[in-house]
Amino acid sequence: MYSRVLKQMREAVRLRHYIVTLHAVEEMDDDDFSIFDVEHCILHPPTPKMSITGKLVIITVYAT
């Protein structure tokens, strides 16, 4: 299911078939992001990192 939804999201971004809400724009402005940053993350997600124990490492970054 995840891969199907991700494929649909990527296709919508490629075709520019999406809507950005005012709230999303405000949040992007607060974090100094543009819609191009969001598009890039959807189309080119970072490669998952595995720790030496073999577990997935998830890193969340918040802009301040």
Domain spans of the chain, in order of start: 2-57
Calculate the dihedral angle through the C-alpha atoms of 52, 53, 58, 63, rounding to the nearest 10 degrees: -50
Q: pTM here?
A: 0.65
**pLDDT given for residue 14 in this prediction:** 94
Please report, in tens digits, the pLDDT of each residue of the chain (64 residues total). 678 888 898 999 999 999 999 988 998 898 888 999 889 888 987 766 666 777 766 665 555 4
**pLDDT given for residue 13 in this prediction:** 92
Packing angle of the helix pair 22-30, 35-43 (nearest 10 deg): 90
**pLDDT given for residue 60 in this prediction:** 59
Let me know if 42 is exposed, middle or buried by CB neighbors in 10 A (0-12, 13-18, 19+): middle
